[in-house]
Amino acid sequence: MKVFVTGGSGFVGRQVVRRLAAEGYRPVCLVRPGSENRLPAVQGLHVRIGDVTDSASLVGALEGCEAVIHLVGIIREFPARRITFERLHLQATVNLLAAAEAQGLGRFLHMSANGAVADSATAYYRSKWQAEQQVCGSSLRWTLFRPSIIFGREDRFCSLLSKQIRLLPLVPVIGDGCYQLAPVAVEDVAAGFVAALRRPASEGRCYTVCGRQGMHYTALLDRLGEVLGVARVRKLFLPLPLLKPLVACLQNRPWFPLTPDLLTMLVAGNTGDPLPWLRDLDLHPADFSAALRRHFQNVTA
């Protein structure tokens, strides 16, 4: 089976493409010009040049495929570069759904986000919910995945924390650090997408994709420190009332890691019940610490 993949050159996408190839599927990856070299080198990979925000580039692009795995997404906006939630989350999904329906595909697997609701305080979650509504209203046999924080060596979360733990005498902690997180390994996320292709019971389902247990942010730092061989992770707690004005001031700087939305989402926590996802797709993730070791134990500064 040929599977059309968007976002195949990204952190999650590369793992999904590898998993597809390993299980005998033929991934067909849509990439923008110049991004081909970011795709993993796997047998049977086909590359099609296009852009999900340009509906004209999708005409005929899905030919020969039977399913779509839609992974395109951003975590922050840069409007001056036309990188917005409305364009990359909502409009891209609308374009891809229309192309899939017009070209006769039946299956559509969509990556959303844990926390996506219509009345969210953050534009990120609102845009994810709006895209979900488009998927659910389509004629395709859909499955929604709502991941929590996804970790792996190439991520933008635990990788940053591991650098801070190795290099800083004090690791900054936003607020009291007691908000609950349930990170999930990237290989488990990929396994879930690929497993859903052959499990009709997953059609019409929305899955929370997260770790089995939540933990405080401070506990996550300590677990990561253990994997890195740091006996004690010393922490610097940053009061929210002092941090919020700084984030608002620096949010448009690409090098600054936070925006008001990201800050709001972090301190709100991110957990859920992964049991339906694990059960329906027959997934057996490794223990959290074991997964951390697999990705970060031998990482050096």
For residue 74, the domain's CATH number is: 3.40.50.720
Predicted pLDDT of residue 300: 54
How far, CA to CA in Å, does 11 sit from each of 73, 152, 186, 260? Answer: 11, 8, 8, 23
Distance CA 113, CA 122 (A): 12
Pairing status of strand 180-181 against strand 215-216: antiparallel
Which ranges in the chain belong to alpha helices (H)?
A: 11-22, 85, 92-102, 123-136, 158-167, 186-196, 217-228, 240-250, 260-268, 275-280, 288-296
- Spatial contact of 21 and 42, defined as CB atoms under 8 Å apart: yes
Phi, psi of 185 (to 5 degrees): -70, 140
Region 27-52: mean pLDDT is: 94
Whether residue 11 is contained in a domain is answered as yes
Quickly state the pLDDT bin for 297 (edges 50, 70, 90). confident
Whether residue 239 is contained in a domain is answered as no
Residue 301 has pLDDT above 50, yes or no: no
Whether residue 259 is contained in a domain is answered as no
Region 61-69: mean pLDDT is: 97
The number of distinct structural domains making up the chain is 1
- Spatial contact of 193 and 145, defined as CB atoms under 8 Å apart: yes
Region 47-76: mean pLDDT is: 96
Distance CA 9, CA 233 (A): 34
Predicted pLDDT of residue 299: 60
Predicted pLDDT of residue 17: 97
Whether residue 128 is contained in a domain is answered as yes
Whether residue 50 is contained in a domain is answered as yes
Which residue range(s) make up the domain with 53?
2-151+184-210+272-285
Whether residue 25 is contained in a domain is answered as yes
122-137 pLDDT tens trace: 999 999 999 999 999 9
How far, CA to CA in Å, does 263 sit from each of 18, 86, 174? Answer: 32, 20, 8
Structure tokens at 252: 């448009």
pTM: 0.95
* Local structure of 102: helix, strand or coil: helix
Structure tokens at 120: 């969210």
Whether residue 33 is contained in a domain is answered as yes
- Cβ neighbors of 301 (< 8 A, separation 6 or more) are 163, 166, 167
